[in-house]
Each structure stands twice: as C-alpha cells, then as structure tokens.
Amino acid sequence: MRVYVGMSGGVDSSLAAALLVEQGYDVTGVYMKNWSQDLPGMRCPWAEDLADAKRVAVQLGIDFKVYDFEADYKQRVVDYMIDEYQAGRTPNPDIMCNQEIKFALFLSTALADGADMIATGHYARTADGRLMMAVDANKDQTYFLYRVSSAALQKTLFPLGEYTKTQVRSMAVERGLYTAAKKESMGVCFVGSVGMREFLGQYVVTKPGDIIDRATGAAIGRHDGAIFYTLGQRHGLDVGGGLPYYVVGKDMKKNIVCVTTKLTDSAIWLTQLSLSQPHWINEQQFNGECLVRLRHRAPLVQATVTAVDDMLHITLAEPQRAATPGQSAVVYLDGCCLGGGIIT
C-alpha cells in the first residue's frame, strides 16, 4: 500500500514516516510548501524545514516530493484568518488548515498522484472513519481535526496516536533520526515567532480608539486597534493603576474595547454557548449529554448539546472562562470526537 506522509521537518512527522516504513508500507514523504513569506523581524524557516524533511527521507530511503500549496493556503487559511479578525472574532487557522489543506487538498493531490492513503504526525487515532482521541491526553490534537470528514479519515493514518510525546522523542533518538532533538514549533504555523499583532499589522489598517470601563462607561485608556484584543485578555491593555483589567467585549464599528476589573464578570464566564457552522465528522447530528472542549488542552467539560436548524446550542455544566467568538467548541463522547462548531 502506497502512503504519502506529510513531512514538516519536525520530529513527529519524521517518526511517523519511519514507523510506516517499518510497518511495510510503500512510503513517500511530502513537504507541503504552504508559506514562505518573511515578515519584519522574522525569517520564515520553510527552507530549513524542507531541508530537514529531505534529510530524514534520505535516511529512511524513501521517495520525496514537494507540493506547492502556497496560493491555496493564502486564500483558504490566511485570508480567512485576516477576515475573521477584521470582523472582531478570534479564529483558529490551524483548524482551517486541516479542513482545507491537509485533509482536503493534500489528500486529493496525493490520491491523484498514486497514493492509496495519506499519513500525518498528528496525535490522534481513527477507527472505521471515526476520530478517536490519542493515547497522550496532553498532546491529543483531535480539537484541531474536528472539521475533517469521515471519508478523509478512512484514507488517513495517524502512526503516533498510540504513543506519548516522550515515547516519540525516545523512538526518534533510537532510530537516529536527523530531527530527533529538533525543538517543537509553537504557535500558528505561518506566524512563527512573530506575534499575531505584528503579523496582522502587515495586512490590515487599524486606528486607535478608546478603552471603556464597562462599569462606568468612562474612557480609561487608548488602544491601537480593536482587532488586536480578545475576550478575557489581561496583558497588553496599558491601563495603569489599581486592579488589573480584562477585556469583556469590543465594538468594531465604534472601534472601542470594553474592559472590567471584575474577574468573575458574566461576560467572561459563560454556561450558554451558540455555535455556527456545525460540522459532524460522521454526518450524524448529535443531541444530548457529552463532553466539550473549548480550546486545545483545555479540560473536557460536561455539557448538553442541542441542534436547532444550522446552529448548535451548548449548556455547560460549569461556567467556563473566555469562550471566545471565532474559536471552536468541540464535542466528544466516549473518547470519540464527534464534531463541533464555531463560537458566535
């Protein structure tokens, strides 16, 4: 069976490729060139990552290809992210990347190129087209995969789903993989070490506005663009004196950011959520009691889901902090990721 494995130049995808070779698959490594643009103060590391992926492919004795998805990635992921921020929301581009690029464009391109299956270094498992949580609960990445289709999962292998990150590092060292000691990349893939504020500043025009104390309605400071602030944020407000302030909302049309010193403010702690753009992996709409995750590595929370028309309504058993519009709430039942939607 021919498997095309997405190789990013990191240790996870490198070991995924090595394990597939050991399991007897006909493996081809593929580097997806999604982003190559340098930003002020940050040189995009794509060339180094490509070189590292190539070195591992040579070590493993497998074929290696480069798929140039940069134009599609800019349109489907980066532009989506910028549009969402401009609308006052806080999107998750990694989720969109999985939906649009890795498990759609990469999958279709690989299959047309002669692959029978694709594989990635994600920490997740599949079973009969269902998405199951990884053994390593701390590294589990099913939150980022909830918008993938069952059809795509039936053509996908996740070789690392049964292992912990510690085991993966150890196994990579044992095999002498070139990337065994490489540091893990953090943050949004195309933003890299640059902050989101600096990244967005290259693409959007912002203007200063007032920071408003919601309790008094008084302007207590100035912001440099409402687009840069997100629900529950404390740092970066530059409002001096007294108790710390937290963002509780913003009005993009009026260009104001609302804050409070009340950490228990009901705008920050929510038990009722509405989700747009619901997606069910196995196309079977779910209603009832379940577990919900509101961000990667956030705890699973007891909840009840009710589907009404094209919306999901979620009642959380306990109030959760900063359920941010634009982020995703993901639904789980018995270790299976069922799907979810985008917080409105």
Name the residues annotated as catalytic.
97, 189
Reported confidence tier of residue 166, pLDDT bands at 50, 70, 90? very high
In the sheet that holds 246-251, the strands lie side by side as 219-223, 209-213, 256-260, 246-251
**Least confident window among 40-44, 104-108, 119-123:** 40-44
Measured CA to CA in angstroms, residue 256 lies from 55, 225, 248, 324 at distances of 50, 9, 11, 17
What are the chain's domains?
A: 2-174 (3.40.50.620), 206-260 (2.30.30.280), 269-343 (2.40.30.10)
pLDDT in tens, 212-236: 999 999 999 999 999 999 999 998 8
pTM above 0.85, yes or no: yes
Judged against a pLDDT cut of 70, whether residue 191 lies above it is answered with: no
Average pLDDT of every residue of the chain? 94
Residue 45 CA to residue 50 CA, distance in Å, equals: 9
For tokens 């918008």, what's the residue?
A: 147
Strands 2-6 and 117-119: parallel
Q: What is the mean pLDDT of residues 277-285?
A: 94
3-class state of residue 6 by DSSP: strand
Q: State the number of CA atoms in the 13 A half-sphere of 249 facing the CB.
A: 13
3-class state of residue 103 by DSSP: helix
Reported confidence tier of residue 39, pLDDT bands at 50, 70, 90? confident
Residue 154 CA to residue 118 CA, distance in Å, equals: 10
Strands 328-333 and 311-321: unpaired
Judged against a pLDDT cut of 70, whether residue 26 lies above it is answered with: yes
Residue 123 CA to residue 164 CA, distance in Å, equals: 8
Strands 288-293 and 301-308: antiparallel
Phi, psi (5° rounding) for residue 132?
-110, 150
Reported confidence tier of residue 238, pLDDT bands at 50, 70, 90? confident
Long-range pairs of 217-223 with CB within 8 A, sequence gap ≥ 24: 220/245, 220/259, 223/257
Write the secondary structure of 158-183 as one string of H (helix), E (strand) and C (coil): CCCCCCCHHHHHHHHHHCCCCCCCCC
